[in-house]
Amino acid sequence: MRQTAGGYRAPSRVLVIGSGLVGMSCAWSLQEHGVEVCVVDRGRPGAGASWQNAGLVSPAMSVPLPEPGILRYGVRAALSPRSPVAFVRSADPRLVRFMAAMVRSCTTRAWRRGMDAYRVLNEMAVESYEHQRAGGVEVELTRGDVVACFEHPAETGAFLHEIEAVVAAGQATEVALLTAAETLAAEPHLSGKVAIGVAVRGQQYLTPQQYVPALAKSVRDRGGKIVEDTVVTKVERRRDVLVATGPQGELEADAVVVAAGAWAGGLLAGHGVRVPVYGGRGYSFTVATPEPFREPVYFPVARVAVTPQGDRARFAGIMEFGSPDAPPQRARFHHMVRAVRHLLVDLDWSTMADQWMGARPVAADGVPLVGATATPGLYVAGGHGMWGVTLGPLTGSLLAVQIATGATPAPLAPLDPLR
């Protein structure tokens, strides 16, 4: 511990549980403050949702998930196994608790409150990537318009309504309505079935399988330790130290950050965090493309995003609430293909590979949980749901300030894990 000028006892050694992009960003930013870090993971860096997601760094689309429209999806999900929003059939009481809390947050008022928090974060999101790059993280962001595509003009309503709400919340967002011809010109892989497009200007994307290892390398190069294949089952305070316990033994530190993604709930029990976090399982795969996609494409009705990845395109989608440890439902990959195949051309679907399932850490009220818990020295960074790639580096830098100085940066106030 180090005493700061204001009398705050700043931790010298911090243990981060979880080496996804949120945990690694926390570790990296703590190093900026001269803190010694150890990151522990039950697998390897990027073993969770951070691995093969869509990779969009898209502040314009980064919004709280619970909103009144989600309830309509819920009814559809109960009726159709092909719905892009679904539930794994389960008797897990945590899922029931999570869903009840999420339904309570599906109000316009709660969404607006959440959006006020997102707006402030979204404005700083890209800058924090630039900061990491300047500090030696080899992360490559590509700028592009996200082209949202619709088969029928009437389908644009919900998407445009969301963009309008983002703008009404005060977030500068530039969109353009595209005719069918303009949409196909923007992205030649689209088929003539696309009737209308909405270009969300000036977003960014990255390849997540490159980003997480690049972060890990930088953390190690700066003297940080990353311990793989080590599970933590409990964190407790014993006098002046925090102790993380698991089958492999005990690890001690001055402070601990729980960045365990969709698994965080178990570690946070008993530490005053009431907002449930649960797995929002998503699926992705890649397909070879003779010509690279020019822009990221999003099909809002199917809820499938397509991101360029060199000579392949990465398809990502589905929001299936369920345990992160339950096996993937293979049929989901076919549902995704069936939902978008007719809207695309020049893809050799027989080259489909890299099938992957990852569980987004979804906070029931749609707002990330970042800050101190009720146990002194124990912090949480997570619950970013669909937008962890966009907000991960910023989360790390804001939380590191709080841990290193004892002062809570203003953008973190609405993310208070004890709310």
Please identify, among the stretches 15-23, 78-86, 113-121, 179-187, the one whose residues bind ligand FAD according to the rule CB under 6 A: 15-23
Say how far apart CA 416 and CA 14 lie, in whole Å: 20
Is-contact 173 166, C-beta < 8 A? yes
Q: Which of 187, 384, 393, 412 binds ligand FAD (CB under 6 A)?
A: 384
Does residue 20 belong to the site contacting ligand FAD (CB under 6 A)?
Answer: yes
Residues 53-82 that bind ligand FAD (CB under 6 A): 53-56
Does residue 214 belong to the site contacting ligand FAD (CB under 6 A)?
Answer: no
Q: Count CB-CB contacts under 10 A for residue 272.
A: 13
Is-contact 335 380, C-beta < 8 A? no
Q: Which of 10, 14, 15, 21 binds ligand FAD (CB under 6 A)?
A: 21
Please choose, from the candidates 347, 336, 389, the residue with its C-alpha nearest in 3D space to the C-alpha of residue 187. Answer: 347
> For every residue of 345-360, which 3-state class applies, written as one string?
CCCCHHHCEEEEEEEE
Say how far apart CA 60 and CA 296 lie, in whole Å: 14
Q: Which of 298, 387, 396, 399 binds ligand FAD (CB under 6 A)?
A: 387
Q: Which residues are 288's β-sheet partners?
A: 312
Amino acid letter for position 169: A
Give, in order, the Cα–Cα distances in Å from 368 to each of 13, 95, 139, 383.
24, 18, 23, 4
Does residue 253 belong to the site contacting ligand FAD (CB under 6 A)?
Answer: no
Does residue 299 belong to the site contacting ligand FAD (CB under 6 A)?
Answer: no
Does residue 85 belong to the site contacting ligand FAD (CB under 6 A)?
Answer: no
Please identify, among the stretches 34-42, 95-103, 329-337, 411-419, the one whose residues bind ligand FAD according to the rule CB under 6 A: 34-42
Does residue 260 belong to the site contacting ligand FAD (CB under 6 A)?
Answer: yes
Closest to ligand FAD by CB, 178 or 251: 251
CB of 192 to ligand FAD, least distance (A): 27
Does residue 48 belong to the site contacting ligand FAD (CB under 6 A)?
Answer: yes
Closest to ligand FAD by CB, 47 or 184: 47
Is-contact 30 37, C-beta < 8 A? yes
Please identify, among the stretches 167-175, 183-191, 372-380, 387-395, the one whose residues bind ligand FAD according to the rule CB under 6 A: 387-395
- The number of CA neighbours under 13 Å toward the Cβ of 146 is 25
Q: Count CB-CB contacts under 10 A for residue 388.
A: 26
Residues at the contact surface with ligand FAD, assessed by CB under 6 A: 17-23, 40-43, 47-50, 53-56, 231-232, 259-263, 267, 282, 284, 316, 358, 360-361, 382, 384-390
